[in-house]
Structures are given as structure tokens and as C-alpha cells.
Chains A and B, each alone.
Chain A
Amino acid sequence: MAFNGHQREDGAIDEDETPTKQPRSDKEKPGYLSHEPSNEASASAGRATSERRTSNSTARHRRDSVKKTRPPFPWFGMDIGGTLVKLVYFEPKDITAEEEQEEVENLKSIRRYLTSNVAYGKTGIRDVHLELQDLTLCGRTGNLHFIRFPTHDLPAFLLMGRNKHFSSLHTTLCATGGGAYKFESDFRMMADLQLHKLDELDCLIRGVLYIDSVVSSGPSECYYFENPTDPDRCVQKPYTLENPYPLLLVNIGSGVSILAVYSENNYKRVTGTSLGGGTFLGLCCLLTGCSTFEEALEMASQGESTRVDKLVRDIYGGDYERFGLPGWAVASSFGNMMSKEKRESVSKEDLARATLVTITNNIGSITRMCALNENIERVVFVGNFLRVNTLSMKLLAYAMDYWSKGQLKALFLQHEGYFGAVGALLELLHPS
């Protein structure tokens, strides 16, 4: 890139200008740019120097250079998971009359289609409540939209892309998640689109850190549950992720990945489990005949898991004091279902609830063990399994607090499942 080359020449003159001079005022904070230099610092020394230079230049210079490197609209970030496709779309609100005239019809139509609807086709949904307004990205101000649809409807999406002549816009489509690899050729063949594939965990972390830094109004992005062990006093409270590191990031999608994050660029995948959101839904469909996550959750909310699970008190009549196990603890998930009579007496709702509790508690205990092994006290749970799933969040909060005797804190984020897609969008705007 010419721009970078130029900057590097500059940099050779005053090498010792340090990132400490970068603008860090609160006013600039919400903008991604002000954050980027430090974010990039450890990625690659040479590039970091050049990026630093950017922020040290005059505002004018920056605007110009931003404009030069700014990719053409539309700006999308995409995360194609095992179950859901997550799409973030940046809708510029600062379009000048001049731009408006220049804007091609295709682009306009895509923008209108996405922003004027809240549902697309049978299964696409825009999470309006998550929309981030008046966001400045790459020098442009606009709204960030969050859209999702099932991965199995990806062909319909591609068809739409073809019908709307998406490829004529010559945009780069940044995509992450396994589907970016699996469906790469479909994108090319069906919609004539070239994907820029990105690692899902890189994107996830980048997205989490970015969203947390830009959300300043409305409900706090990060929150926790106060008094998690007392149902009557358990309330959601905002949390400031100011010095987030080290943190354990638990992404619960179809499966689960657990990452230990030490800085934006320094993280490792500690482990994962195949018992995740996909397992909850998959088992619920088999056990209750439901077909959607919402249905499954609705049933779970009405059921009683203790009819399905065998509790410590079912075995010992109370607490198992020898080992400090409370009577209410689950001794055997689905343990009561070994008995024919009990199998016949439980409801679908009970089964859905037990499935939810089983999967959630299991994620909780694996997470807790990882936190102990990695010596990390803060855990952030993300992923679409937690969408509209307060039941699981409260359970996780409870489990973390109870079994760690208050040592571990479970944190949650408003934009649960969209961080990978946000990370992909950021990659489009600021290639790392």
C-alpha cells in the first residue's frame, strides 16, 4: 500500500515518537481510530510504527488518509457459524448530496432493504434493540445493524445477493466462522463474490473489545448479576470492563470455545466442548418435537428440571455432608429418567428445562476448571446460546459464584453473538 510506504518513510525521521502521544481524550475514545494504534501495537512492529504515525498526524491529514484507505460501501462483516449466520451492516447516515447522487442504485437498494425491514424472508431477523446509532467508523458516522439468519438459509441469502447484483459493487466481503471456509466456493459460484476469510477467534476478540469500547449510551454493554445465589435479590448490574485482562472468554455457539485472553493479540484457546447451544437445541428437538431455539427456551421456562434430574437429596435424603454437597445439587442429569414411571410422568417442558440446565451447568463447570487452571478470575460469556436466555445466564452466574465461593465473576455482553461479525467488519476497515 502506497500510503503505508509513505508513512514509513516519514517514520524513519522521528522513530522515537511514542504511542503515548496518541490522542486518548474521552471525546475521541468512542471512535475506533483512536483505539487502533494501541490495539495493533503488538501485532507487528513495523506496521505498528506506521499506524502510530497516523494518529500522530494532524486531524486533516488523518481525514484525508482515512478517506484514501476507506473501502467503498457497503460495509459488512459476516460470521457464518454452524447454526446461525451473523451479519453486521454499517449504514452511513452522513451521506452528502453529492454522494447520494454518485451512489449506484444497487447500493441504495441494499441499504433501503436492510434498514427498512426488521425481518428478511422467513428466517432473517434484525435485532433492532442492539442497533448502535451515531457510530463513527473510519471517519463516517452511521448506524450499526445486527442481522441473523440460520446457516441453512445461506443459499437463499446468496440468491438474493445475486439478484441484487451485489458483486457489481466490487466490495470485499469479510467473513469469519467455519462457513467462510465451507461456503467460500458457493459465494463465488452462486453470487460471484470473493470472500476475505478471517479466523473466528481473532474476530471474536477484536469484536468484543471494540463493542465494549464504543457503547457509551443506553444499557451498559457489559453486565453481571448481583446476588446470583439469591433468586429474590438477583439483579442485572452494569459492569465496566476497564482493565479487562486477563479474562476468560467463553463463546457458546453451537459448540463452545474457551479462550484465555491476555491482550487483544495475545490469547489462546484453552479448550472447548461439543456440549453447546447446538446440543441444547438438538436434544430439545428430539425430546420435545420443537424446532426453534425460541420454542425450546419458551418450553424450558415453563418446565421443572428437578422432575427429570436426580438430585443429591433424592439419593441421600438431604445434603451429602461428607463431601459438602448440598441436597439441591444435581447428582445425575436425567438420572430420574432411568425409571419408566418417571419417564411417563414428565412433561416436554420439564425435559426442555432439564436439557437447558444440564448444558448450562456443564459449561459452567468446565469454565470454572479452566479459570482455576489458568488462574483467571473474570469470565465473559458470549455467543448466541445466551440470546434471550436469562435462565442460562443466571444459572452461569450462580454456578460461578457458588462453586468458586465468590471467587469467580460471570460477565455478559449485550451483543452476545455478534462479536465475530463485528470483528470481521473491523478487518474490512482496518486490515491488521
Chain B
Amino acid sequence: MAECVRLDSSTSSHTMDKSITLPPDEIFRNLENAKRFAIDIGGSLTKLAYYSTVQHKVAKVRSFDHNTKEAASDKLYEISVQEEVTARLHFIKFENAYIETCLDFIKDHLVNTDTKVIKATGGGAHKFKELIERKLGLNVDKEDEMTCLIKGCNFVLKNIPHEAFVYAKHADSEFRFQTTYPEIFPYLLVNIGSGVSIVKVESEDKFERIGGSSIGGGTFWGLGALLTKTKRFDELLQLASRGQHTNVDMLVKDIYGGSYGSLGLTGDLIASSFGKSATADKEFSKEDMAKSLLHMISNDIGQLACLYAKLHNLSRVYFGGFFIRGHPVTMHTITYSINFFTKGEVQALFLRHEGYLGAIGAFLKGAEEDNPNQYSWGENYAGSSGLMSVSPDMNPMQRARSGTFDMLEMDRLERQLVNLPLLQDASSYIPDTVDLTEDALAREYWLYCFEDALDGVVKRAVASQPDMPEAAERAEKFRHKYRHKLQTLRHQPFAYGSLTVRSLLDTREHCLNEFNFPDPYSKIKQRENDGALKYYQKAVKSLDELSWEERQFALVRGVLAGNVFDWGAKAVSDVLESDPEFGFEQAKRQLEERPWLIDSYDQWFERLKGPPHKCALFFVDNSGVDIILGVMPFVRELLSRGTEVVLASNSGPALNDVTNGELQILTERIAAMDSVIQAGLREDRLTLVQSGSSSPCLDLSRLDKVLANVVRERKTDLVIIEGMGRAIHTNYYAMLSCESLKMAVIKNSWLADRLGGKLFSVVFKYEVPPGKPSQNSVAGMPS
């Protein structure tokens, strides 16, 4: 049964201060614009969902009209900060005891009066129907629980990378997050509420309850309460985690004296649950009985799940329901059971946002006219609490469980995101090079590194908005929030899926946006772009004077030297700040001499002697010298060779990375000076596309759909990825189905050390997929 238990009077009666004052700006955010409410009321927790539009500042660049205003400014383009409205989904989870307080709060802050209906699901929806209708003046419209659950599950699996994880109690990191499969169906969802429902999900709209069991969370709770006189579910679990089931259970060795060898049953296996308590004259401890009960129920559910998975030939089995929700104890026993019964063939999978599935599904039901499934959504790290935020045994920083509010916020992305069609195997692609969840040393370093850099980021954020007096105050709020996130991640590295340098960077961007610092580097980027442009013609001219062979090498060195100009890297931002005149030539001198740390230049050079590529996709990195003096001449050469070029840049700002908006203007300006670039644009052989991302790193499984289409149409046969964030922190090991070039300068001594190099070591990685001799890779070769 999916049905969550009704509110147990014994659990609701425990003293809770109902007049608690909520920190409203933290919890029910953006209520002014909220519409489309949905609520999922379970046995002890309420999950509220609403859709809201968020006004926030975005930085826009706009080309000056040079005919009229040229004299007025020597600036390249105009930067303006504009208000933009984006859609956001808010999900809040709190204890049922607070429901009235929360409803009151919502009523007081709700401005939007269009809303007439609230979608509701969960066992408690019925119980609180009257209260909700009275408080909010909305009609409660009840939705089928299972339908909501499945809808919610599909939604998170599609939209949240690292949503699913495997739980391994004794591993270095208990949570092993799964890469999102491009195809999420079919799967089995085992929902362990008071009973168990086993649902086979075949597509967005097609699912079937193929079975279930009456032995579920309610059995653990009810029977546990009878046996131990312990009323609360959580307390029962705590009892269980301290108990010894072998005092209560009859094991194989209790019957056999050892193992039952011929059947391969080990001695420690439970032969008969509670088999030892079949006596009237012995006392058993509460802990031991609770443990035995937990094993009995977990094993039973695991066994049934395996039998159903086998019968329906399904290998992906997700577990959810209040029995599982955030409880390491039950995740462990279920995992153990699944491993035992399938001998490892099926993995028990859990979901980070399992508790929200019903609310998400109910919300989606009510929002069908907005077509939320048409869009891609992204988890907002700034506004989401993260896994285990309310689990007292997991999070010692949290005082008590009651009174804590867990939140999930998802932003509607402007672009629909898909896989890069050139990935060798999309289902095994992992963007990140190092998983900091597993690598404790690396985690410690990077957490320190980001904390250390925080002062500088705050300073720059304030400096980016000189006309706004309250910027300093907002910047402090940002500092507080991001520092808190870093602290949380120190204790719970698994809070937002696998912890990576990318996720740390993205979290920082989300927090900056949260406090209306949409683009702290806008002015710096502008200044650098301006400066570099002036040097462009000279740079091109000197390249043209070189012999073909010398030029190929100089172009590569140019890209690498340009890449040294990176404010994201601490070592460089120090130099840049102390010496803004740090020049391009100086950067070249700074570069490591060949042989580089990773050096396949010779192979690349040999390849260049062969036929030109049909089309190159270039993921660019920084503004200024990097894009203008490093990348553009390289692109120019490719165009001259007869290769089409697609320049992919970020949709939104991240550090000093060049955005698509900026690159449009820059390219126009360069075209005005350079006939090759101009011809490329005119003949549509040079195309600018946006990546769909606002991250200094690159996830090739979440790229703008338009980009993917262009890549396909142009029969792209070369992918170039530039920079530390995109080619080292991510994609270092990415396998592509066409030739690829990864170029970066290591601007972090710790990372250089890790890779066996030193500061400013060069990575030049040219790869040809197996079975594809590079010399033959002529245009249009089928992939």
C-alpha cells in the first residue's frame, strides 16, 4: 500500500510549540507570486509544493550603436542589469504539528488571488481537508497517491542528476550516486508505507501495481510498539540500531551447529525470525526485539521485490516510503536483503528527494496546463536543504528533528537539456574527474580552497555593483549562506549528490544569484575584452608570418597561454590583481616547455597534415585574452582549413567565462577586422551556440537541445574542450565518439601535484576513438 499512515495521535500529542515563529524569508519564499499549490500529508510529515515566479537580476550586454555613440565611450559594449522573471518550484517539508501555523503564514502572505484549488495527496489529506479549505479558502482536490508518486519519481529522475544512489554502510562514502540514465524507464518502485506497493513503471503515463505486501512500515511500527512499548517510529529504529537480533532469531547455526553447506546457507543466516522467543520463561531486550523485527521486515520486502523484479525482468529497483525515508538503518537492511536474494544482480536504489515525490506529483497534476514536463529543471543548491538535513543521527549540527524545515527548490531552465550526441556511451558518462564524496583528501583541500577564496568573491561581488549601497549587506548574506553550505558539505558531502569541484562552483553561482549578484565579473570581463581586442590584429598578423608548421604550434601555445588568464583560479587571480598588466607574452613565457605533462601534440600535428575536419565543436572558457587572442586565431585557422566551427559558450555568467551574449558582440567586432571570421559568419561556417549551462564546468549530458541539433546536422567530427573547469575538473576522462582535443593549463598547485605536474603544467590531450584512424576521419564519416 502506498497509503501513508494516518497521523497517530500518540505521535501528534508529543509536546511541540505550535506558536513557533518561522523565519519566513528562509522558508516560504516567494509566496507573493505563488500559485498552484499542492500538498502531500503523510503520517508525520507534510510536504507543500507551489510554483512561483522569481524576479532576479541578470546581467545583459548590449552592443553600442557605434554610428552615433562611438565618441561617447571607448567601451566595447554596454552592461546593464535587468530584472528577469524565472519560474521556480518550491517544496517544503515539515512536521504535521506545524501545519496550522504554516497555513496561517501562507494565508497572510499570499497575494495572488487567482489560485482556487489546492491539489492534495497522502493519507492525511483527508484528515486536514477541512482545515486547509477553511484557512486558505482553497478547494482541496484530492489526487490518487500512487499516480502522484510515480509522476514525482519520473520528474526527479529526469531532472536531477545524482538523484538515485546506492547505500553502502561500510564503504568510504555511504552514498554512491548513480549517473542519470538517458532512458529512465522501465523501473520498479517499491513503496514502503504502512504496507508495501510494488509498481512497475514503463513510461511517463504507463505504470501498474504488480504486487505488494501487507508486511511493511506499519508492521514494524505496530508490532514494534506492541513488543517494546515504544511509541514513535524513529525511536523504534534507534532501538533496533542498538540491538542484537541473534538473541531473538534462530540462525542456521542454531539449528545446524554451523552452516548448511550443501545449500550454501551460512551459519549466520536467519532460519527463523523470532525463533528463539518461542518460550515463556525468558526475557528479551527491547533493542534485540526491535532489531529482529527490522531484519524480518526488511528481508521480507527485499525478497518480494526481488521475486517481482525477476518475474518482470527489471534491474532498476527504487525504494521509497516512510520506512526508508532518510533512515540509514532501513536503507542498510533493505540493501543487504536485495544483495542476498539477487546475489548482487539487482541493486537497491534510493532517491535523494524521495520524501517529495507525492508533493511533486500532485503539483504536476495541477500544473498540467503549464506543461512542466516540457522544460528542463535544475536543482537550486542555494535554496535546497540537501539530503539528511533533518536526520538527527546524520547531522549532529542540527539540534532536534522537530522544527526543522527541509526544502527543495528547482529552477526552470530556459533551455531544454539533452546529451551531447557525440558521447561514446551516454549511460556511463560521468562528467566529474574526482568524486570528492569518496576522496576525503581532495574533499578537504577543495572545501578549504573555496572557503579561502570566499573573501575575494565577496569583495568582487561588492565591487561589481558600485552604484548600489546595499550591495555590501547582500554580499555578507551571500558569504554567510555559502559558508554555511560549505560547512554542511564538510559534514555531509553527499548532501547534493556526489560532491565535486563542479558542484562547489555551481553552488557558489547559485548563492551569488540568490543575493542578486548575477555577474560579479561583468566589468572585469568587459575591460579585458576591450584590451585584448586591441591586440587582435597584431596577434593574427604575427601568426600569419610564421611557416605553416610553426603556426600550428604557435596557435596551440596561444590557446594555452590565453587560458592562463583565469580569475577562477586562485594562483592566477592573485597575480592578476597585483599586476593587471600581466601580458599575453608573459603568459607564454610562463608556460611549461614541451614535453608537457600530457602531450599528444605530435599526433595532433600529424593529424593536421591530413584532410580537414568537417566540423569542430569548441567549448570556450574565459573572456579577454583567452577567447580573443587564444581561441579566435585557432578558430580562424580551422576555418581556413575548410573546417566549420561551432563555438559553444555559457548561456549565463559564471566567473569570467565568456557568455554567449558577450561572444556575439566580440565575434562581430572581430569580424569587422578579420575577413576570415567575417566570411565564416556570412557563409554560416562559423556558428555561435549556447551551451545551456551557467557553470565554469561542463556536463556533456546536460546541454542545450539546439546545440545537440547543430552538432548532429553539421556532422561534427572534432570536439575541442578548453580550460581547467571543462577539460580537467570535468571531462578529463570523457570518451567521445569522434576525435577530441582537451587543452588546459593547470593553475592550481594542489591539482598539478595530484596529476604529477606543477603549477602551469600543460594538458594537451588529443584522442581518437578506437577503431577510427585519425588520418581517415574525413568529413561525413558515419559515427
Could you say which residues of chain A place their CB within 8 Å of the CB of B257? 178, 181-184
Cross-chain contact A333 with B214 (CB below 8 angstroms): yes
Instruction: Judge if A177 is at the interface, Cβ distance under 8 Å.
Output: yes
Bound state CA distance, A329 and B223, in angstroms? Answer: 19
Q: In chain A, what residue has the closest Cβ to B257?
A: A182
Could you say which residues of chain A place their CB within 8 Å of the CB of B217? 332
Bound state CA distance, A343 and B172, in angstroms? Answer: 42
Chain B: minimal CB distance from A17 (Å): 34
Could you say which residues of chain B place their CB within 8 Å of the CB of A287? 226-227
Chain B: minimal CB distance from A160 (Å): 22
Interface string of B252-284 (1 = CB under 8 A from A): 101111101011000000111111111111001
Cross-chain contact B249 with A274 (CB below 8 angstroms): yes
| Contact with A335, one of B5, B284, B304, B341 (Cβ below 8 angstroms) | B5
Q: Given the known A-B contacts A254-B250, A340-B10, A373-B310, are A362 and B300 also in contact in the complex, defined by CB atoms under 8 Å?
A: yes
Cross-chain contact A82 with B296 (CB below 8 angstroms): no
Bound state CA distance, A291 and B280, in angstroms? Answer: 5
Q: In chain A, what residue has the closest Cβ to B213?
A: A365
| Contact with A273, one of B5, B146, B197, B300 (Cβ below 8 angstroms) | B300
Cross-chain contact A286 with B289 (CB below 8 angstroms): yes
Cross-chain contact A274 with B271 (CB below 8 angstroms): yes
Q: Given the known A-B contacts A335-B218, A338-B8, are A370 and B307 also in contact in the complex, defined by CB atoms under 8 Å?
A: yes
Interface set of A (CB-CB < 8 Å, partner B)? 81-83, 177-179, 181-184, 199, 201, 253-255, 269, 271, 273-279, 281-283, 285-287, 289-291, 308-310, 312, 315-316, 322-323, 329-341, 343, 351, 358, 361-362, 365-366, 369-370, 372-373
For B214, B257, B311, the residue with the greatest tally of chain A CB atoms inside 10 Å of its CB is B214
Cross-chain contact A81 with B225 (CB below 8 angstroms): no
Q: In chain B, what residue has the closest Cβ to A340?
A: B10
Bound state CA distance, A178 and B254, in angstroms? Answer: 8
Could you say which residues of chain A place their CB within 8 Å of the CB of B311? 369, 372-373
Instruction: Judge if B736 is at the interface, Cβ distance under 8 Å.
Output: no
Could you say which residues of chain B place their CB within 8 Å of the CB of A177? 255
Q: Given the known A-B contacts A338-B225, A340-B9, are A332 and B218 also in contact in the complex, defined by CB atoms under 8 Å?
A: yes
Q: Given the known A-B contacts A286-B289, A310-B194, are A278 and B250 also in contact in the complex, defined by CB atoms under 8 Å?
A: yes
Cross-chain contact A291 with B279 (CB below 8 angstroms): yes
Cross-chain contact A337 with B225 (CB below 8 angstroms): yes
Cross-chain contact B280 with A362 (CB below 8 angstroms): no
Cross-chain contact A332 with B303 (CB below 8 angstroms): no
Q: In chain B, what residue has the closest Cβ to A82?
A: B255
Instruction: Judge if B696 is at the interface, Cβ distance under 8 Å.
Output: no
Cross-chain contact B219 with A82 (CB below 8 angstroms): no
Could you say which residues of chain B place their CB within 8 Å of the CB of A372? 311
Bound state CA distance, A176 and B254, in angstroms? Answer: 15
Could you say which residues of chain A place their CB within 8 Å of the CB of B10? 339-340
Cross-chain contact A179 with B255 (CB below 8 angstroms): yes
Cross-chain contact A362 with B213 (CB below 8 angstroms): yes
Chain B: minimal CB distance from A295 (Å): 9
Instruction: Tally the A-B contacts, defined by beta carbons under 8 Å.
Output: 211
Cross-chain contact A338 with B263 (CB below 8 angstroms): no
Cross-chain contact B223 with A283 (CB below 8 angstroms): yes
Mostly helix, strand, loop or mixed at chain A's interface? helix
| Contact with B214, one of A199, A332, A338 (Cβ below 8 angstroms) | A332
A-B contacts, 5 of them at CB < 8 A, read: A177-B255, A278-B250, A286-B227, A312-B1, A358-B219
How big is chain B's contact interface, by range? 35 or more
Instruction: Judge if B421 is at the interface, Cβ distance under 8 Å.
Output: no
Could you say which residues of chain B place their CB within 8 Å of the CB of A335? 5, 194-195, 214, 218-219, 222
Chain B: minimal CB distance from A237 (Å): 29
Q: A274-B270, A274-B296, A278-B275 are in contact. List 8 more A-B contacts (CB 8 A).
A: A83-B272, A178-B257, A275-B296, A322-B147, A323-B197, A323-B209, A338-B194, A339-B8
Q: Given the known A-B contacts A271-B341, A340-B231, are A255 and B214 also in contact in the complex, defined by CB atoms under 8 Å?
A: no
Cross-chain contact A182 with B255 (CB below 8 angstroms): yes
Could you say which residues of chain B place their CB within 8 Å of the CB of A183? 257
Cross-chain contact A281 with B278 (CB below 8 angstroms): yes
Bound state CA distance, A339 and B209, in angstroms? Answer: 27
Bound state CA distance, A77 and B756, in angstroms? Answer: 72
Within 8 A of A (CB), among B289-303: 289, 296, 299-300, 303
Could you say which residues of chain A place their CB within 8 Å of the CB of B248? 282
Could you say which residues of chain A place their CB within 8 Å of the CB of B223? 283, 333-334, 337
Q: In chain B, what residue has the closest Cβ to A293?
A: B278
| Contact with B3, one of A271, A315, A362 (Cβ below 8 angstroms) | A315
Could you say which residues of chain B place their CB within 8 Å of the CB of A289? 280
Instruction: Judge if B216 is at the interface, Cβ distance under 8 Å.
Output: yes
Bound state CA distance, A182 and B203, in angstroms? Answer: 53
Within 8 A of A (CB), among B557-581: none
Bound state CA distance, A343 and B228, in angstroms? Answer: 12
Could you say which residues of chain A place their CB within 8 Å of the CB of B308? 369
Bound state CA distance, A286 and B289, in angstroms? Answer: 10
Cross-chain contact A282 with B274 (CB below 8 angstroms): yes
Chain A: minimal CB distance from B210 (Å): 10
Chain B: minimal CB distance from A82 (Å): 4
Could you say which residues of chain B place their CB within 8 Å of the CB of A322? 144, 146-147
Chain A: minimal CB distance from B174 (Å): 26
Q: Given the known A-B contacts A312-B1, A338-B8, are A278 and B278 also in contact in the complex, defined by CB atoms under 8 Å?
A: yes
Cross-chain contact A285 with B280 (CB below 8 angstroms): yes
Cross-chain contact B214 with A330 (CB below 8 angstroms): yes
Instruction: Judge if B517 is at the interface, Cβ distance under 8 Å.
Output: no
Could you say which residues of chain B place their CB within 8 Å of the CB of A312? 1
Instruction: Judge if B505 is at the interface, Cβ distance under 8 Å.
Output: no
Instruction: Judge if B123 is at the interface, Cβ distance under 8 Å.
Output: yes
Cross-chain contact A332 with B307 (CB below 8 angstroms): no
Q: In chain A, what residue has the closest Cβ to B249?
A: A274
| Contact with B250, one of A255, A271, A283, A337 (Cβ below 8 angstroms) | A255
Chain A: minimal CB distance from B278 (Å): 4
Chain B: minimal CB distance from A350 (Å): 11
Instruction: Judge if B618 is at the interface, Cβ distance under 8 Å.
Output: no
Bound state CA distance, A281 and B279, in angstroms? Answer: 8
